[in-house]
């Protein structure tokens, strides 16, 4: 069974940093691209970043470029999101998702999400 | 960015009813459209990819259709577990964008 379990969220002050982790199991992690998708309170879903299966390519939405870094450790089957210079508008639940990008562009498994609150 | 507009934003419906949720793109997206379901506890599940292809394990009462800028998700006969939020997502161009969501509520 595919499982994605996020951790590392919480309350952080504006301008500070936070690192999220996503532990994957139930599939061959290094065969798949992975992504982070966020959801601000009472709002819709927003793609944040994607990393290729081997970590060689990364993609970001404009609003996080230069502030967020997606990475992975295939030996540990773990995905990361390093978030720097956090802003109040980054407050959201962050979901880790498996990202299928062959033929389609589709998130086929999602974690339960981890809440990040940026506030002083 | 391609804007995705879903209508209605909320929809009261009854068990056994047939419902259709619409999703309109701000430009043509060549059928590059997926649908997801989000339960009140936050759990997100994929339903349909490339407009009309059912994800493995999704009941056949779900179906998708559309072309150009206009797409829809239909549930042929509502079951209790179908009352949730639904989101469309386009992948015609980057960044990937989602619709604003439709909340399916019990009437």
* pLDDT tens-place values along chain A, 120 residues long: 999 999 999 999 999 999 999 999 999 999 999 999 999 999 999 999 999 999 999 999 999 999 999 999 999 999 999 999 999 999 999 999 999 988 789 999 999 999 999 999
Supply the DSSP symbol for B95.
S
Q: What is the pLDDT of residue A104?
A: 83
Q: Residue B94, SS3?
A: coil
Q: Is pLDDT of B10 > 90? A: yes
Cβ contact A104–B91 (<8 Å): yes
**Partners of B5 in the β-ladder:** B24
pLDDT (tens digit per residue) in B32-69: 999 999 999 999 999 999 999 999 999 999 999 999 99
Q: Which residue of A has its CA nearest to B95?
A: A61
Q: Write out chain B residues lying below 8 Å of A106, CB-based.
A: 34, 46, 49, 91
**Which residues of A10-67 form beta strands (DSSP E)?**
10-12, 18-25, 33-39, 45-51, 58-60
What's the confidence (pLDDT) of residue B39?
Answer: 96
Q: How confident is the model at residue B104 (pLDDT cuts 50, 70, 90)?
A: very high
User: CB-based burial of residue A116 (10 Å sphere; 0-12 exposed, 13-18 middle, 19+ buried)?
Assistant: buried
CA distances from A53 to A10, A35, A78 (A): 28, 10, 12
Instruction: Give the pLDDT confidence score for residue A103 in this predicted structure.
Output: 78
What's chain A's length in residues?
A: 120
pLDDT of residue A113: 97
Which of B42, B57, B99 is the best substitution to test chain A (most A C-beta atoms within 10 A)?
A: B42
**B14 pLDDT more than 90:** yes
- SS3 at position A88: helix
Contact between chains at B94 and A59 (C-beta distance less than 8 A):
yes
Average pLDDT, chain B: 96
pLDDT score, position A102: 81
Give the per-residue pLDDT at A23: 98
């Amino acid at each position: 069974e595919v499982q994605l379990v996020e951790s590392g969220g919480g309350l952080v002050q504006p301008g500070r940093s936070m690192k999220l982790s996503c532990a994957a199991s139930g599939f061959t992690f290094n065969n798949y691209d992975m992504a982070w998708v966020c959801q601000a309170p009472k709002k819709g879903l927003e793609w944040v970043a994607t990393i290729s299966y081997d970590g060689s390519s990364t993609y970001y939405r404009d609003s996080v470029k230069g502030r967020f870094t997606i990475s992975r450790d295939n030996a540990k089957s773990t995905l990361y999101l390093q978030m720097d210079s956090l802003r109040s508008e980054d407050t959201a639940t962050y979901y880790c998702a498996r990202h299928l990008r062959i033929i389609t562009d589709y998130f086929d498994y999602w974690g339960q999400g981890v809440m990040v609150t940026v506030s002083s | 960015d391609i804007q995705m507009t879903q209508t209605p934003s909320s929809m009261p419906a009854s068990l056994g009813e047939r419902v259709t949720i619409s999703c309109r793109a701000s430009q043509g997206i060549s059928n590059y459209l997926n649908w997801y379901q989000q339960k009140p506890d936050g759990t997100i599940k994929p339903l349909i990819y490339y407009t009309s292809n059912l994800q493995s394990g999704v009941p056949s009462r779900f179906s998708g259709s559309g072309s150009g800028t206009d797409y829809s998700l239909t549930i042929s006969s509502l079951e209790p577990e179908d009352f949730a939020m639904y989101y469309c997502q386009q992948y015609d161009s980057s960044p990937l964008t989602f619709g604003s969501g439709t909340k399916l509520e019990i009437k």
